[in-house]
């Protein structure tokens, strides 16, 4: 992942053409765009001003594009303007985790017996010890229950408990998001089903039959750590309250229709995982006492261990599906590996920024989390491009980025784009690599945001605000047209 200091210094020197963006104190205003490319190819490229004007986005547009081989900046607009990166921040998180933990790192979830085991009996407690695995789901938890039976365990004289302190307990990623959105779950040392519960409903004779399940492909245990009640109203669609022992949800009858389902966030992932495992263990004939109370500093014999896929695969899925929980877990785990404080997402993100500033000599990062969900995060286009050029040179990032289709983009025939998208309402970003037919690879970042318009949204409006869909479509067209321009102008 690293490059030689000679190479890094040379690349950083090329970025210094931005008037200090790569090194000394930040400039008081954004420098002007670089001169237009010369030559016949450049004459065929659409003008940046025309592309931006056609998008009709309002707010600000910022981008930077560089040659990966040389690090030379080819074209910029508002390059050092701090912008909301949205989920493009996950590319930084992937680099941070891969560099800190290694591509072969695996998360481990263990069942530990605290006492001696004899004739299938544990004389002590059985503890489910979380390692933070963001990919643990009900089916894999069921496999652990099966492995426990295959290990010959029939009886536990003590209690069933959980240990969740591998990571700090964070109730939700961004408190400003609507309560019911599944992409804003809790984070902890034990995570299950991306810390979401499956809510389903079906019209019955006297109202609705509802289920709250930890749904997997093979197992669908019901849970009581989250409750749902249908109420006779039109709005709001959902309400949430914490009873102290469970998540209490209500839903508006008028919004349900005949039948349907959706995933809701879980705020007690440790108890959620414990309840599900107890149910799965019973299905294998193992009766456990206790309800999953917290254990600390557990010592004993590991009876069952479930490992995640290697980190490179976990990171690839995170980038492909843009899973916020995975991003936060990767960032927090990397921070703890460095021995730095990770008491919350803000503190861990600051540690990641320190790593980024040291590794890529960035100056305009102000991330508040590892997923980009918090829209107070800020990142300059040139800093993203520096990370892509200087930290991705060994090829660790490009292969795990999702290939982005460029439909209806003039001049992009034969261009392969691997990038991370980022979308919040009235915020859109795209950052990654463009491989041109000539063999030239470009690194780019483009951000668009109408921050004032987003800031006017109430918490309830952030679920589906009016005008957000068309705005996002225009922002994506802007991205495609910019890549088309660069392919034409710099395709050699």
Q: What is the pLDDT of residues 269-278, one digit of tens each?
A: 999 999 999 9
Residue whose token pair is 């290939």: 403
Ramachandran angles phi, psi of 450, nearest 5°: -105, 80
pLDDT tens for each residue of 227-262: 999 999 999 999 999 999 999 999 999 999 999 999
Task: Name the least confident of 16-25, 271-280, 368-377.
Answer: 16-25
pLDDT number for residue 393: 53
Q: Residue 31 has what pLDDT?
A: 36
Contact 86, 116 (CB under 8 A): no
Indicate if the pLDDT at residue 35 is higher than 80. Answer: no
Per the structure block, which two tokens stand in for 77? 């607009």
In this prediction, residue 26 has a pLDDT band, given cuts at 50, 70 and 90, of: very low
What is the average per-residue pLDDT within 128-151?
97
Structure tokens given for 292 = 């999953």
- Map residue 25 onto helix, strand or coil: coil
Weakest-pLDDT range from 15-29, 147-161, 340-354: 15-29
Q: Which residue would you say has higher pLDDT here, 35 or 473?
A: 473
Q: Is the pLDDT of residue 6 over 50?
A: no
Measure CA 294 to chain center: 27
Give the confidence band of 414 by pLDDT, cuts at 50, 70, 90: confident
Pinpoint the alpha helices (H) of 38-177. 40-44, 48-55, 89-101, 138-150
Structure-token pair, residue 241? 């309250």
Which of these, 92, 181, 264, 64, lies nearest to 463 by C-alpha position?
Answer: 181
Q: Give yes or no for a contact between 288 and 281, defined as CB atoms under 8 angstroms apart.
A: yes
Query: Based on C-alpha coordinates, what's the Rg of the chain?
Result: 25
Does the structure show a pLDDT above 50 at 365? yes
Looking at 111-249, list the stretches that DSSP marks H as alpha helix, in order from N- to C-terminal side: 138-150
Q: H-type helices in 166-259, by residue range?
A: none
CATH number at 107-308: 3.50.80.20
Strand-pair partners of 433: 418, 443
Dist CA 425 CA 472 (whole Å): 8
- What's the pLDDT score for residue 388? 95
Q: What is the mean pLDDT of residues 85-101?
A: 97
Average pLDDT score over residue span 108-134: 96
pLDDT-based confidence at residue 292 (cuts at 50, 70, 90) = confident
pLDDT tens digits for range 318-354: 999 999 999 999 999 999 999 877 789 999 999 999 9
- Residue pair 412/491 in contact (Cβ under 8 Å)? The answer is no
124: helix, coil or strand? coil
pLDDT at site 410: 52
CATH classification of 5-103+311-489 is 3.40.710.10, yes or no? yes
pLDDT at 432 over 70: yes
Q: Are 64 and 76 in contact (CB under 8 A)?
A: yes
Residue that wins the pLDDT comparison between 33 and 354: 354
Mean pLDDT score of the chain: 89
Check whether 20 has a pLDDT greater than 50.
no
160, containing H or E segment: strand 160-163
Rounded CA separation 462/104 (Å): 38
Examine the pLDDT at 50 and tell me if it is beyond 80: yes
* Per-residue pLDDT band at 492 (split at 50, 70, 90): confident
- Per 3-state DSSP, the chain is made up of helix, strand and coil in percentages (nearest 5) of 35, 25, 45
CA 53 from chain centre, in angstroms, equals 31
For residue 24, name the pLDDT band (cuts at 50, 70, 90).
very low
Other Cβ atoms closer than 10 A to 179? 20
The C-alpha atoms of residue 263 and residue 261 are separated, in whole angstroms, by 7
Contact 114/303 with Cβ under 8 angstroms? no
**Pairing between β-strand 196-204 and β-strand 259-265 as defined by DSSP bridges:** antiparallel
E strands present in 31-80: 60-67, 73-77
Greater confidence (18 vs 206) lies with 206
Q: Say if CB 187 and CB 176 are below 8 A apart.
A: no
Model pLDDT, residue 43: 67
Select the more confidently predicted residue: 372 or 340: 372
Nearest of 18, 30, 6, 41 to residue 490 by alpha carbon? 41
* Distance (Å, whole) CA 133 – CA 274: 15
d(CA 396, CA 330): 16
- Between 222 and 13, the more confident residue is 222
> Is 60 exceeded by the pLDDT of residue 426?
yes
Mean pLDDT of the 47-60 span:
92
* pLDDT on residue 460: 73
* 112-138 mean pLDDT: 96
Whether residue 1 has pLDDT greater than 60: no
Per-residue pLDDT, 19: 39
Q: Where are the domains of the chain?
A: 5-103+311-489, 107-308
């Amino acid at each position: 992942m690293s490059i030689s200091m000679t190479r890094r210094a040379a690349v950083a020197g090329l970025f210094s053409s931005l008037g200090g963006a790569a090194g000394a104190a930040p400039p008081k205003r954004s420098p002007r765009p670089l001169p237009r490319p010369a030559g016949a190819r450049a004459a065929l490229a659409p003008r940046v001003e025309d592309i931006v004007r056609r998008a009709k986005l309002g707010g600000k547009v910022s981008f930077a594009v560089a040659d990966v081989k040389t690090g030379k900046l080819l074209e910029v607009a508002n390059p050092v303007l701090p912008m909301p990166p949205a989920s493009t921040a996950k590319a930084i998180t992937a680099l941070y985790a891969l560099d800190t933990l290694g591509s072969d790192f695996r998360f481990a979830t263990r069942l530990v017996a605290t006492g001696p085991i004899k004739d299938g009996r544990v004389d002590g407690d059985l503890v489910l010890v979380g390692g933070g695995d963001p990919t643990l789901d009900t089916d894999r938890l069921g496999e652990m229950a099966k492995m426990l039976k295959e290990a010959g365990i029939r009886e536990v004289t003590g209690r069933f408990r959980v240990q969740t302190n591998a990571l700090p307990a964070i109730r939700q990623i961004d408190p400003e998001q609507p309560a019911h959105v599944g992409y804003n779950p809790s984070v902890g040392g034990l995570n299950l089903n991306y810390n979401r519960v499956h809510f389903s409903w079906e019209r019955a004779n006297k109202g609705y039959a509802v289920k709250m399940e930890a749904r997997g492909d093979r197992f669908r245990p019901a849970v009581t750590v989250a409750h749902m009640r249908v109420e006779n109203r039109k709005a709001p669609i959902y309400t949430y309250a914490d009873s102290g022992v469970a998540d209490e949800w209500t839903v508006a009858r008028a919004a349900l229709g005949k039948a349907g389902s959706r995933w809701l966030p879980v705020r007690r992932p440790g108890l959620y995982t414990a309840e599900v495992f107890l149910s799965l263990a019973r299905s294998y004939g193992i009766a456990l006492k206790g309800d999953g109370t917290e254990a600390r500093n557990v010592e004993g014999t590991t009876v069952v261990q479930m490992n995640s896929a290697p980190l490179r695969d976990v990171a690839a899925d995170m980038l492909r599906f843009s899973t916020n929980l995975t991003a936060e877990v990767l960032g927090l785990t990397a921070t703890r590996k460095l021995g730095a404080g990770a008491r919350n997402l803000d503190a861990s993100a600051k540690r990641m920024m320190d790593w980024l500033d040291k590794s890529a000599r960035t100056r305009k990062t102000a991330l508040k989390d590892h997923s980009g969900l918090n829209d107070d995060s800020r990142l300059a286009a040139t800093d993203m491009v520096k990370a892509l050029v200087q930290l991705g040179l060994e090829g660790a990032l490009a292969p795990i980025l999702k290939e982005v289709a460029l439909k209806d983009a003039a001049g992009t025939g034969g261009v392969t784009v691997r990038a991370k998208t980022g979308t919040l309402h009235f915020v859109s970003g795209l950052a990654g690599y463009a491989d041109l037919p000539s063999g030239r690879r470009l690194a780019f970042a483009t951000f668009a945001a109408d921050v004032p318009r987003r800031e006017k949204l109430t918490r309830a409006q952030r679920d589906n605000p009016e005008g957000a869909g068309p705005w996002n479509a225009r922002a994506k067209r802007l991205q495609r047209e910019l890549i088309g321009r660069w392919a034409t102008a710099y395709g050699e």
